[in-house]
Structure 1
Amino acid sequence: MNESQQYVLGVDGGGSKTVAWLVERSMIPPFPDSQSPDSQGADPLVPLGIGRAAGSNVRTVGMEAATQHLRQAVEAAFADAGIEPRTVAAACFGLAGAEHADAQIPFQDWAEQEQIAYKTIITNDAEPILHAEVEDGYGIALIAGTGSFSLGENAYDRVRNGGWGPLFGDEGSGYAIALDGLRAATRFADGRGPKTKLLAAFLERLELDEVSDLVGAMYRSSMDRRQIAELGEVVFMMAPEDRVAEGILQRAAVELALLVHKVANQLEDTEHELPVLLTGGVLINHPAFQERLVQTLKQTGWQGSRVYPVPNPVAGAVRIAAKNC
């Protein structure tokens, strides 16, 4: 094995950030027995280098910016490892906005032109989540970050639910939670909704003096979807002491549980207990909300026992790359 063949790359390209991991193939730990009820998921990967860049969702930033950010993340991973950039054995890019072949082909062409790897896999940003904790990649991935959707796969089928975007979807996401909080706050300001501390909390977060200032703050051109989604943190912060905020989070948990149930129903897998893999800032950054979701799943009939948080979906991209060496 020559020196380049020692390494694989995994890249997680989302709407708000891109993360690349450079990993030595021999250092990738095996999976535990995934069917054991006591299984805690895969042992963590230890990357040689980590690179970060801005988002690379082609639907929101365009192809030129997406590939620029991918290149920056890959180069930063090599720099972090103290290794000169080189063609690696295999690379997997899990990219938001690249669900279909027509979106994947331009990235495949770009990666080959850049000579990033001898073998390149381009897939959507949910596929690596399934491979991060389960060897066969069979399970249900639930993503709740800026947006939300679920993806399930078993030996017979792959199905997707949600992911309709911010205009008429993304229920349970940070963006949806933020909007629900802002609606509740302004309804209270108008006298059309129940009293809530969310109004004062949003004004403080946005450094505003008057309720009327919300319009200018929220509709200014520089306020993008990611920044609005970050305001969902206000709802999480106020939930312990505000019934309105608490209700928003409970409705979000119900919506996310529904995404899991519908994927499970579509897969119709009665032979295996499919694990549920959770990722995205809404779930990973809020363990109490993660537990709320698990309880909501159980209360709505979920019989499974294996629920794994996936803080680093890029680890799944590394494992996919290693499988294809």
Structure 2
Amino acid sequence: MDYVIGVDCGGTNTTAIAYQLSGHPIAKVVTGPANLMVDDLRALNNTRNALQQLLAKLDGTCQAVTIGIAGLRAYPFIERFRQRLNVPVPQINLMNDAQLAQLAKLQGKPGLVTIAGTGSVVSGTNGRRQFSAGGWGHLLGDEGSGYHLSRLAVQQLTTETDAGTISPFSQALLAQLKLKSIFELIDHFYQWDKGHVARLAPFVLAQAADHDPHAVAIVQTAVAGLAQTILYARQKGRWSKTDTVNLAFAGSVLEKSSYYREALRQQLAQSALPFNYVPITPDISNAIAAVYAYKN
């Protein structure tokens, strides 16, 4: 049996799936996070382990591997990374995680894919043009990401501490983390990696959906930044103001929260630019891009 493997690497975990050439999934392995700009050795180990475990499960011939990995755009040792994967496959395609999502969600059609998971980025294609906006990492950007939402939540608590007040939102945040004070939280915060910090995002979104004013304000700040990144990417695609642009969403924050998606749509509506929102398909991994990459 001939098959291909797609690997979706991100700040939380790495998902490798083998597909028949028809696109039917046949096996799956999940390992730890993989972001080249955060820890390239850990990224290599988790990606390689996922591939080796998957290959060991299957009979037949793997025709190609397609890997989408965060941080690739700025990574200077791409060929070394490819070689150190050390898997007996004739074709290994490396692309950034946004390009993988773009291929998976748009299936070769023009448009934009917005990823908001641990980090955030917008990737697009229009004809032969390939472009992106955002994706600068949690220290310089990642607007609208899980990390961004979580950092804003912690900053809400630090602001209230300085002002000598504490809101029900901040009390609930400490209770969620089973911590007694802001000082305990800060001690943890500076030790957590960005994936761990981003785990606070579901709490923030749940509070916002329950109409907590501080959580709602945090979400509005986040979606404003993400919407602006989408509009920058739209400009790079050179679409006119009347063109309806396909817009797909990917990443855990966007895929798992209908509240967050609606808030982002409302923010984009203020631009008066038309978008066609591609339906969410949370049960279909971006690893399916391996099938489209092989066929093309």
Superposition TM-score, scaled by structure 2 size: 0.90
For residues 168-224 of structure 1, the C-alpha deviation after alignment (integer angstroms, 9 at most, x for no partner) is 21111111111111111222233267x6322111211221223333232323x3x21
Distance, in Å, in 2 between the alignment partners of 1:87 and 1:129 is 25
Paired residue type of 2:201: G
* 1:218 maps to amino acid: F
Structure 1 residue matching 2:25: 3-state secondary structure: coil
Shift, 1:284, TM fit: 1.0
Displacement of 1:132 after TM fit? 1.3
Shift of 1:9: 0.8
Counterpart of 1:291 (choices 255, 262, 267) is 262
Q: Which has the larger radius of gyration?
A: 1
Could you tell me which runs of 5 or more consecutive residues in structure 2 were left unpaired when the two chains were aligned. Answer: none
Q: 1-side partners of 2:246 and 2:277: how far apart? A: 5
Gap change, CA 1:135 and 1:176, over 3 Å in 2 = closer
* Amino acid in structure 2 at the alignment position of 1:317: A
Letter of the structure 2 residue corresponding to residue 259 of structure 1: T
Cα 1:269–1:316 change in 2 (3 A) is same
Cα distance in 1 between the residues matched to 2:107 and 2:147: 32
Residue in structure 1 matched with residue 194 of structure 2 by the alignment: 225
**TM-score, normalised via structure 1 length:** 0.82
Q: Spell out the pairing of 1:127-276 with structure 2 (5 A cutoff).
A: 127-191=99-163, 196-219=167-190, 221=191, 223-239=192-208, 240-270=210-240, 273-276=244-247
Give the secondary structure class of the aligned counterpart of 1:319.
Answer: helix
2:122 is paired with a residue of what secondary structure?
strand
Equivalent of 1:88 in 45, 49, 62: 62
Deviation per residue, 1:27-69 (Å, 9 max, x gap) = 32xxxxxxxxxxxxxxxxx410011111122222223x32221
**Secondary structure of the residue that 1:291 maps to in structure 2?**
helix
Aligned-partner Cα distance in 2 for 1:66–1:230 = 20
Matched-pair contact (CA < 8 Å) for 1:56–1:96: yes
- Offset at 1:261? 0.9
- Give the counterpart of 1:14 among 10, 13, 18: 10
Unaligned runs of 5+ in 1: 29-45
Where in structure 1 do 4 or more consecutive aligned residues deviate above 6 Å? Answer: none
Q: Distance in 1 between matches of 2:19 and 2:278?
A: 26
Query: Partner letter of residue 248 of structure 1?
Result: I
Instruction: Please give the secondary structure, in 2, of the residue aligned with 1:246.
Output: helix
Query: Quick one: distance in 1 between partners of 2:222 and 2:32?
Result: 27
State the shift of 1:108 in Å: 2.9
Letter of the 2:126 partner, please give it. N
Note if 1:108 corresponds to 2:82: yes
Structure 1 position 317 matched with structure 2 position 295 = no
Q: Which residue of 2 aligns with 1:49?
A: 27
Answer whether contact 1:104 1:123 (CA < 8 A) is retained. Answer: no
CA apart distance, 1:310 = 5.0
> How many correspondences in the alignment?
292
1:323 to 1:236, Cα distance in 2 relative to 1, 3 A: same
Distance in 1 between residues matched to 2:109 and 2:14, nearest whole Å: 22
* Identity %, equivalent residues: 27
* Aligned equivalents of 1:138, 1:110: Cα separation in 2: 34
Let me know the Cα RMSD of the aligned residues.
Answer: 2.2
* C-alpha distance 135-211 of structure 1, shift in aligned 2 (>3 A): closer
CA distance in 2 between counterparts of 1:10 and 1:212 reads 43
